[in-house]
Amino acid sequence: MAGGDPHAIAAEDLPRLRLPYADGLITIDRVRRLPDSPVCRVRPGDPAEGSVVTLVDFVMADPAQAARTATALVRAADLTAVAVHARYAPTAAAALAVCFAGRVRDARAGRGLSVRIVVADHRPELSGPPPGSAGVVAVGGARGPAGAGAAGDADDAGTGLIRVPHIVAIHDWPNGPSGPQGGPKGPVGVTDRVVWEIMSADQHRAWLGGVPGPDRDGLERHLGGLVALAGLVRAPGAQVPHREEVLRALAGGPLTTEAVHRHPGPLLAAAAVLGNREA
C-alpha cells in the first residue's frame, strides 16, 4: 500500500521520535555499517556488516534562520536530509516529515535529481538572513565547508529559497477518519497531511522539469482545498468539483503537489470550490 511512494505512507512506518520543546533541526543520516565506518562500525564478518542504519539527531536553531541553516547543513555535513522542526509542531508531524524526507530522497535519486533534501513539519519561515556560520557547520564532530557535497549539486545553492507543500496520505493513522478541519472526510483510516519542502531556485526548476506551475501564493492560498480534494478523489462515489477535468488531469493517480504544478487550472479551480480550509 504505502511502499516507497513518498506521497503514501503507512502510519507504522513513522519513526518514534523524542524531541525537546524547542525550535531546531532534525538531522537524518543513513550510515552503512562497515569495519572502517566512522560510526556504527562492526567487526569483519559480523552478520550486520553492510547493513544500513539511520541516525537521527536534533540541534537547536533560530526559527527565523532555520531554513537557511538547514540547507547549508545538509550540504556541508553530507546528510541524507534535514527536517526543520517548530517547538509547537506535534511529534507526529515531525515523524511524518522525517519519513517523507527519506522517501522523497530515494525518489529523487531515481530521477537523477538533487538529493539534498530539506523538509519542515510546519510552514517554514524563509525571510531570515543567511546565518553567519553557514560557511562551516559542525555535526557529530565532523566539520566541512558549506557546499561540500556531490559535484552534481554544485548549482543547488541558487539564489533564494522556495517552500513547496506536499500532500501526503497517511494510511492507518490513529485518527484516520478525520480530514482537514471543516472539510469532507476521506476513507476511514486514511488522513491527508502537508509536509513542506525547502528548495533552492535551481532545485525547484529541475524538479519541475521546465513546467512553469501555478503561482506559489495561489497554491498556498488554496492548500486547504487541495488537501480536501485529495481525499475526495480517493473516495469512490465522492462528489468531486469539476470531476471530469480533475480526473483527466490526475490520470488515475493521486493528487500530489507535482500534479498541481503540471495541471494547475482544473485542480486549483476544484480546490477553490471546496474553500479555504485548514490544511
- Reported as a single tens digit per residue, the pLDDT across 39-75 is 555 677 767 666 667 889 999 999 999 999 999 999 9
Question: 20-29 burial, b for 16+ CB within 10 Å, e for fewer?
Answer: eeebbbbbbb
Distance CA 142, CA 230 (A): 42
Plot region of 259 (φ>0 → left; ψ -120 to 50 → alpha; else → beta): alpha
- What pLDDT does 215 receive? 84
Q: Is the per-residue pLDDT at 149 higher than 80?
A: no
Q: Model-level pTM? A: 0.79
Task: Tell me, letter by letter, the H, E, C secondary structure of the chain.
Answer: CCCCCCCEEEHHHCCCCCCCCCCEEEEEEEEECCCCCCCCCCCCCCCCCCCEEEEEEEEECCCCCHHHHHHHHHHHCCCCEEEEECCCCCHHHHHHHHHHHHHHHHHHHHCCCCCCEEEECCCCCCCCCCCCCCCEEEECCEEEECCCCCHHHCCCCCCCEEEEEEEEEEECCCCCCCCCCCCCCCCCCEEEEEEEEEEEHHHHHHHHCCCCCCCHHHHHHCHHHHHHHHHHHHCCCCCCCCHHHHHHHHCCCCCCHHHHHHCHHHHHHHHHHHCCCCC
Share of the chain above pLDDT 90, in %: 45
- Please give the average per-residue pLDDT across 111-117, as a whole number: 90
Which of 20-34, 43-57, 208-222 bottoms out in mean pLDDT, i.e. has the lowest? 43-57
Share of the chain above pLDDT 70, in %: 72
Which of 50-54, 105-109, 126-130 bottoms out in mean pLDDT, i.e. has the lowest? 126-130
Spell out the domain ranges in the chain.
8-174+194-207, 211-279
Choice between 156 and 20, residue whose per-residue pLDDT is larger: 20
Distance CA 69, CA 9 (A): 27
- What pLDDT does 131 receive? 44
- What pLDDT does 53 receive? 72
Using 50, 70 and 90 to split pLDDT, how confident is the model at 275? confident
- What pLDDT does 38 receive? 56
